[in-house]
Chain A
Amino acid sequence: MSERQVEPEALTMATPTAVAEDTEKGERSLKGLYVITFFLGIGIWTLSAVLSRNALIPTPIDVIASFGELIANGTLWGHTVTSLTRVTTGFLLGVALAIPAGFLMGWYWLARGLLEPWIQFFRTIPPLALIPLVIVILGIGETAKIFVIFLAAFLSCVLATFQGVRNVDVTLINAARVLGAKDLTIFTRVVIPASTPFIFVGMRVALGASWATLVASELIAAPTGLGRMMQQAAQFLQTDRIVVGIIMIGALGFIMDRLLLLAERRLTRWQETR
């Protein structure tokens, strides 16, 4: 074929259009709005805390003071590290098992037949409902908590991976076959990359589930951790400390989710639409 012409769509893609500039401008003003709404939220919080005249509703100043105190005596750091370790361990174990399990289910009907009924059943049970049983059997130590988080992460991620494998375009598999690819190559060079976007969705859902489960399990029974810190503070009506815990959990979850999103963007840049 000749090099004499290039289709017009390709040309417009190379040079940024007016539409692209508009989006950029839109994104800038959106960032401005984020800052405005942040201060607006803090303002409403302060105002309602002051106007309520209820000593149990902490103002932002109280919370900042409490933050300083907890940092100074080292407890916040300790609780945070414990919670983070639990959630990361459980999450990583869950995902590490969910990805191969999902691939097996998508690729071999035997694995699907044996695993899917169990996964579908356990998926409907919130992992928290298993905590009483887990505590009786494994105690209130690390193993019990990591196990519940692991379960939460695994169940959220395994089905997404499975769906990803089922959704691989048959034409892509055929294209690989006619170029001479055998099963193993098709799996590693087509199925795995094609299901990556699904796996990332599964991982993000798994991360959310892991956090939810972690905090709940620490609230029920734990010697340390952010959930435990909040539980203790509640007994002494230290609502400012509870808010510190809430903010920490929110911030950490948000940061981890963003990190995952960043990894996803890097690895699935090739996708047509987002």
Chain B
Amino acid sequence: MALISIKDVTKIYNTERGRTVSLDNVSLDVEQGEFITLVGPSGCGKSTMLNLVGGLLMPTSGQVLVNDEPVKGPGPDRGVIFQQYALFPWLTAQENVEFGLRLQNVPKKERAERAMHYLSLVGLQDFANALPKELSGGMKQRAAIARAYAVHPSVLLMDEPFGALDALTRVQMQDDLLETWEKEKRTVVFITHDVDEAVYLASRVVVMSPRPGRISEIIDVPLAYPRGEEIRLSPEFAEIRARVWRGVHHHE
């Protein structure tokens, strides 16, 4: 049984300018422990799909199941990481990580220990008492990743998390994310419009096309983890990258 099961989902937005079909009869199964990337041009419904799994949106028709349960709203079993980091600016890095734990009434001592564990996991142990404004973009996103991890979700949903970072930081963040993920495996659904990023991270790349939003192709990435520079520069990577590239750009 798949961990995430999207069944015949259609999502229609009714706006003042008319009806937009954001997702048109889309189905997708994601297995436990998979790293899925959703890639496609803007308007292909990838963010909508993520928000449906996250419970921040409800489908117009069809069903979204996580752990066999229909999604009724957001919940701590599905962690979300936003492009704009969404750290609470009035809380320190550690307090941000503890936010979800506090809601679960985790005792103070355990809360602090878990927060420090996840801050160390993302390399921010020395910045536990820093406010978000004192952190760089990459560090903010690491803190957000630690915050999502801390509540022990079974699924991590990442909405273009590195989209606002410069190219060099971005590559570093990709390596670091994979390292974190291999230490503590979660099922990840990761949105990007960067083909390299999609292939480098994923065990499966889901290519989407716009107007109406559909899945046009699913491409397996049979490259072993851990991945590094050798993989990035390998002919196998280039070949898969070319397939994904064609899949994305031939629909524009």
Contact = CB atoms under 8 A, between A and B. Distances in A.
Interface of A: 1-7, 9-10, 13, 169, 171-172, 174-181, 185, 189-190, 193-194, 196, 268-272
A171 B86 contact: yes
A14 to B, nearest CB: 9
A177 B89 CA distance: 16
B82 A5 contact: no
Contacts of A174: 56, 74, 80, 82, 86
Interface stretch (B7-15, B19-27, B169-177, B185-193): B169-177
Interface of B: 54-56, 73-76, 78-80, 82, 84, 86-91, 99-100, 103-104, 120-123, 125, 127, 131-139, 142, 145, 147, 151, 169, 172-173, 176-177, 179-180
B86 A175 contact: yes
A124 to B, nearest CB: 30
A179 B151 contact: yes
B57 to A, nearest CB: 11
Question: Which of A175, A181, A269 has the most C-beta atoms of chain B within 10 angstroms of its own C-beta?
Answer: A175
A272 B172 contact: no
B121 A1 contact: yes
Nearest to A269: B131
17 contacts: A3-B120, A3-B123, A3-B125, A5-B172, A7-B137, A7-B169, A169-B84, A171-B86, A174-B56, A178-B56, A178-B79, A179-B100, A179-B147, A180-B75, A189-B99, A194-B90, A271-B133
Given A7-B136, A172-B86, A270-B133, A2 B123 contact: yes
A3 B128 CA distance: 14
Given A178-B55, A178-B78, 20 more contacts: A1-B142, A2-B123, A2-B179, A5-B172, A6-B139, A7-B136, A7-B138, A10-B135, A171-B86, A174-B80, A175-B86, A175-B88, A176-B88, A177-B74, A178-B56, A179-B103, A189-B99, A194-B90, A270-B131, A270-B132
